[in-house]
Amino acid sequence: MHQDLRYAIRTLLKNRGFTLIAVLTLALGIGANTAIFSVVNAVLLRPLPYQDPSRLYFLTTDRQDSKAPTSLENFEAWKARTSVFEDMAIYYRNTGWSRVTLTGIDDPEQISGGFVSANLFPLLGIAPRIGRAFTAEEESRRERVVLLSDALWKRRFSASPDAIGRVLQIDSADFQVIGVMPATFQFPARDTQFWAPISTNRYWLDRPAWDNVHSSGFFLRWNVIARLKPGVDPRRAQSEMTAIAKDLERQDPQRNHGLGAWLTPVRVELNASARTGLLLMMGAVSFVLLIACSNVANLMLARGARREREIAIRTALGAGRIRLVRQLLTESSLLGILSGGVGLLLALFGVKALIAFGPRDIPRLEQAGIDAGMLAFTLLLSIGAA
């Protein structure tokens, strides 16, 4: 094999034009596949950064909508009556109503925030990277404390630990910074920049009387997430929640007409066009690699015709069919490995471009990158191309 490798290197160096064209052709296909797969891996395949995410479920009032909100009264009834969940947390629904004006440091800016119950972070199994989370006592006292996202911490405080204890103004109210969440934490949406006690939300404990003037969104303002107890079958949990929802509808048919209580597994939420777009791009770059391999194979066949005399001499000297195939396969493998290295460099720039210019509503897009898994993927592509 060492002899085959040395000969392959000499052969490729002797035909530098062919080598350059073949490497660049394959590198484009391998680099495009690596870049797109790194995005697909970060967005769709990588496990959610929560403790035992398979037991996390959204509880919604619409079977078709994993973010369908509910009322505060229904949440309290669900939590009081259910026996299948370890815990149940509530947060203000992720809509434009979550946008606030941030002042106090640097220029004012509009950002999206999360108003959540204190038990959300233990329920998800997530702790702040620095500082602490707020407590149930602080929530009940409606204390204005806040946790910052990693991006907001870096942008407003230059990633300084001295941010803890500082004061930010959120919609003209003073909030004290008590912690910073990990960079991978994106809940309930990618653009959530801070988390404050739900009791500090302007609509907390606001229980408007039902009327026919406002839409249902005026009354259904809250989202719910829960963690199943170990060993509890999701079908049993769904059956129990359906019974509770029907009972609530009998008690108050006007407010709860047509509202269910559906379990939806917590997963990365993508709209249909974004998911389809990612899969189509993955399929498209796969065909690009196949076309690249086809073109290089044709080049090698044309080049092989010129090596007929060399092959004949090697056969006359005793080289068998397996020996000749091994030599040619070594040359192909060397081409594949070289192309993979160049493709990896192209993928680095490709991933940065996808993050910079990709749709802003795709969660975890900024987590795409070249890691050990992507190196292994590129190596497999290179071997496959060979």
* pLDDT band of 27, cuts 50, 70, 90: very high
- pLDDT of res. 153: 94
Poorest-pLDDT segment among 237-241, 314-318, 331-335 = 314-318
Residue 213: its pLDDT value, please? 67
Tokens of 331: 């040359």
pTM (two decimals) = 0.76
Look up residue 88 and give its DSSP letter: E
Return the structure tokens found at 180.
């910073």
- For position 134, what pLDDT does the model report? 96
Q: What is the pLDDT of residues 357-372, one digit of tens each?
A: 877 777 788 888 888 8
Of 64-73, 142-151, 155-164, the least confident? 64-73
Residue/partner pairs of 5-12 with CB below 8 Å, 24 or more apart: 5/330, 5/334, 7/327, 7/330, 8/327, 8/330, 8/331, 8/334, 9/334, 11/331, 12/331, 12/334, 12/335
User: What's the average model confidence in pLDDT over 249-277?
Assistant: 82
Averaged pLDDT score across all residues of the chain: 88
For position 276, what pLDDT does the model report?
A: 83
Q: What is the pLDDT of residue 100?
A: 84
In angstroms, the CA 91 to CA 221 distance is 9
Backbone dihedral angles phi then psi of residue 221, each to the nearest 5 degrees:
-115, 0
Q: Taking residues 106-129, report their average pLDDT.
A: 91
**What residues are paired with 65 via a beta bridge?**
62
> Which of the four pLDDT bands, split at 50, 70 and 90, describes residue 140?
very high
Q: Between helices 16-40 and 372-385, what is the axis angle to 10°?
A: 140
Q: What are the phi and psi torsion angles at 347 (to 5°)?
A: -65, -35
> Is the model's pLDDT at 337 over the cut of 60?
yes
- What's the CA gap between 1 and 15, in Å, rounded? 21
Position 284 scores a pLDDT of 93
pLDDT per position as a tens digit, 35-59? 999 999 988 888 888 999 999 999 9
d(C-alpha 52, C-alpha 263), whole Å: 17
Please tell me the least confidently modeled range out of 29-38, 169-178, 201-210. Answer: 201-210
Q: Which of 165-174, 255-264, 315-324, 337-346 shows the highest mean pLDDT?
A: 337-346
What gap in Å lies between CA 165 and CA 219, rounded to an integer?
35
**pLDDT at residue 141, rounded to an integer:** 94
pLDDT band for position 227 (50/70/90)? Answer: very high
Q: What is the pLDDT of residue 325?
A: 81
pLDDT tier for residue 216 given thresholds of 50, 70 and 90: low
Higher-pLDDT residue of 242, 172:
242
Whether 194 shows a pLDDT value over 60: the answer reads: yes
pLDDT mean over 190-219: 80
Q: How buried is 350 (Cβ within 10 angstroms: 0-12 exposed, 13-18 middle, 19+ buried)?
A: buried
Question: Alpha-carbon Rg of the chain, whole angstroms?
Answer: 29
Is the model more confident about 329 or about 382? 382
Q: Which of 105-119, 126-140, 353-367 has the highest mean pLDDT?
A: 126-140
The pLDDT score that the predictor gives to residue 287 is: 95
What average pLDDT does the segment 93-103 reach? 72
In this model, does residue 97 exceed pLDDT 60? no
Q: Look at the block and give the residue holding tokens 């987590």.
A: 367
Lowest mean pLDDT among 116-125, 126-135, 188-197: 188-197
- Residue 217: pLDDT above 70? no
Split at pLDDT 50, 70, 90, the class of 67 is: confident
| The predicted structure's pLDDT at residue 131 | 95
- 314 pLDDT above the threshold of 90: no
* Across 366-381, average pLDDT: 89
